[in-house]
Amino acid sequence: MASVKTTTPRETGSAAVESRPVAIVLFGSPGSGKGTQAKYIVDWLGIPQISTGDMLREHIRGGDAIGQAIQGRMNAGSLVSDELVNQLVFERIHKPDCEHGFILDGYPRTTAQAEAMRRLLAASRAEEVVIHLVVDYNVIISRISGRRVCPKCGTLYNAVSHPPKTEGICDLDGSRLVTRDDDREEVVRERLTQYENQTRPLIDFFRNTTGRLIEVDASGDGPEQVFKCIQAELKDLVRR
């Protein structure tokens, strides 16, 4: 069964909790299941998911100036500049559907991004909740190297944990599944190295500064069980 550890360095009054929008930060290495858990939370709380990876890939597909600038870095497993990522996130969370809260998936990834995010959340009076999905390194390699995606609808599959009904074919629209360039094993290893060097230190940052930090062991249990653990920890949010 998944284990959960919660850290709350500072107390937050109930009146403030009920009146402030919530900013849920899904934090974890590539392949930890952030995207899957974000979709569960979207359905549960009715707030939008903001995925920096999805936004960046959308620019690449569109072929605009931003997409051309970042395509090579993403395909090599390198991180995009803090300034660009901050700009995209800040623009997105000011849209009307984020009025009552939002889920940040894949952001922040550096201390500089986290500090910029903290300033923005303070200005908007949003309550920050960090969910750290902890997954063993070898499990991550296995998950991502077996991952396939539908190029039409974006549905994710995995050869071991979530295979399609027909090998290589999307269950929903019949499209042939593909491997994303940034899911190739050599790229995954580079992404994990980047994560350990630049993003892992954020855990200490969150422990010392955030209002609520929840750490979930997401290595062995299925995504449904991991979500149940998250629900139990965040059950107060449904009263907003």
Catalytic residues: 34, 109, 147, 180, 191
- Per-residue pLDDT reduced to its tens digit, 97-139: 999 899 998 889 888 899 999 888 888 788 889 999 988 888 8
- Per-residue pLDDT reduced to its tens digit, 52-99: 888 888 888 888 888 887 887 777 767 788 888 888 888 888 899 999
Q: What is the mean pLDDT of residues 151-156?
A: 90
Backbone dihedral region of 4: left (phi > 0), alpha (psi from -120 to 50 degrees) or beta? beta
Domain 4-10+22-236: give its CATH architecture. Answer: 3-Layer(aba) Sandwich (3.40)
More confident residue, 1 or 91: 91
Its pTM stands at 0.71
pLDDT at 239: 53
pLDDT at 10: 41
